[in-house]
Amino acid sequence: MFEVGDFVVYGSDGVYQVDQVGPLDISGIPADKIYYTLVSPYMKGSKIFSAVDNRKVVMRAVMKKDEALELIDSIKDIELLEINDDKKRNEVFKEALKTYDCKDLVRIIKTLYVRQEQKLAEGKKNTAGDEKYFHMAEERLYGELAISLDMEKAAVKEYVENRVAKLVSEA
C-alpha cells in the first residue's frame, strides 16, 4: 500500500503524488472503502481518486534514483523497434505507452529519433503520428525521471542527453 507523500505512476496518466489515503466524503461512495487521492506534480488542480484495491489500473511506485540512473546508463544498449509498417508501428507505440514501461518509452524515443534523422536527411518531414508518439514518450519518461532524480522536468532531457553522450565518448 502506498503512503501519503509517495510518488506513483498511475496507469497511462503519468506521475502523481499520494495526497490522502482513506474513505472519500462524497455522496454515493461507500464510507468503508479506502481510496488514494492522487495529485499531479505537473498539472495544477489535477486530482484522481483510486480505490486502494483497484486492479483495473496499473499503479506502481516511481523509480528510485539508482534505478533511474541505471536506466539512463543503459539507454545506448536499448535496441530500436524494427517495424517498417507504419500502422503496425503506431499500434506497438500505443500499446507501449499504455504500459508506462520506461525501457519501452526509451525504445520509442530512440526509434523515432532515428526515423526523424533519416527523414531529414532525405529532405522529408516527420509524420504527425511520429511527432505525437515521440512527444508522449518523452513526457512520460522525463516526468518520472524528474521525480526520481529530484530535478525539474524541463532539465531532464538535457541531463539524459549529456549523461548518455559522456558514456558513449568513454566507450
Q: Render each residue's pLDDT in the chain as its tens digit; 171 residues.
A: 999 999 999 988 889 999 999 999 888 888 889 999 999 999 998 999 999 999 888 899 999 999 999 999 999 999 998 888 878 888 989 888 887 899 999 999 999 999 999 888 999 988 888 999 999 999 999 999 999 999 999 999 999 999 998 888 886
C-alpha cell at 31: 464510507
Task: Report d(CA 83, CA 65) in Å as an integer.
Answer: 32
Task: Report d(CA 66, CA 149) in Å as an integer.
Answer: 9
pTM of the shown model: 0.89
Per the CATH hierarchy, to which homologous superfamily does domain 63-170 belong? CarD-like, C-terminal domain (1.20.58.1290)
Task: Report d(CA 125, CA 167) in Å as an integer.
Answer: 30
Angle subtended at Cα 106 by Cα 148 and Cα 110, rounded to the nearest 5 degrees:
140
CA 155 to chain CA centroid, Å, is: 15
SS3 45: coil
